[in-house]
Amino acid sequence: MQPNRLPLPRQVEARIKERIISGECRAGEQLPSEEELAHEYGVSRATVREAVSSLALQGYLIKRRGVGTFVGQPDAISGGLESLISITEWIRQSGREPGTTFVEIDRRPPTAHERELFAPWKTEEVAEIHRVRTASQIPVLYCIDVIPGEFAPTKGSELDESLLTFLEKRWGQVIIFAQTEIDVVTASKPMADHLKVPRATPLLCLRQAHYNQHSTVLLWSQDHFLPGHFRFDVRRHRQ
């Protein structure tokens, strides 16, 4: 490798990224092993590992445990936060195929925060729904949704796609707007396992209180996005 002021992992990262952007390595193809890349670039496996991990966080590479590392989609799924559409539609509009690889529904008493949110429903039970959403079979998002128990699906297969569509078609509850907070969190072990990333990987979290056509909170969601797979656009106006 040529001398460069950049640290070695960043140099390797730039070389691999160049191969992906140029089309030499195409989306879906498996990357050579760490050992092969280390030999090719004349660096240690630890250096290659750091470079690959960085590219995975950016969405250029997908690390699949026990299988290998594959070239991802460099172009992020993008959209404006001012528009409230389902994750399913958002992924579909990007030209990818939306899917779900994991659904778990847990009925439990509401927390103090949820009692306050869902006060108009006077609910004594909520349904906490965990799902992993995919874009063209690549895990990109871990969703945690909480709704009053009376609106919960009876089985996971009812949530193959959009929860917003389910609430509208099944219960006539139309989500009109949402109040959103944005935060950065680290992936828990269950999230990391399902998203096939290392534990404590940074995730962009959107916490949202969704309001129905009567301006009543019906859904509390926490959507955990893998960096590099999504880009959020916000139009700001000077007051």
Q: From CA 48, how far away is CA 227, in angstroms rounded?
A: 20
Most confident by average pLDDT, 1-5, 16-20, 170-174: 170-174
Kind and range of the H or E run holding 20: helix 8-22
Q: Are strands 61-64 and 68-71 parallel, antiparallel or unpaired?
A: antiparallel
Tens-digit pLDDT profile for residues 52-68: 988 876 667 888 777 88
- The sign one gets for the Cα dihedral 87, 89, 95, 101 is positive
Residue 27 pLDDT exceeds 80: no
The confidence score (pLDDT) of residue 47 equals 93
What the chain holds in terms of domains, given with CATH numbers, is: 8-71 (1.10.10.10), 77-233 (3.40.1410.10)
Q: By C-alpha distance, which of 238, 165, 168, 163 is closest to 208?
A: 163
**Residue 201 zone, left/alpha/beta (φ > 0; ψ -120 to 50; rest):** beta
Q: What is the dihedral of CA 19, 98, 100, 153, to 10 degrees?
A: 160
Tell me, what's the pLDDT at 89?
86
pLDDT digit string, tens, across residues 225-238 = 987 777 776 766 67
Per-residue model confidence as pLDDT tens digits over 86-121? 888 888 887 788 999 999 999 999 999 999 999 999
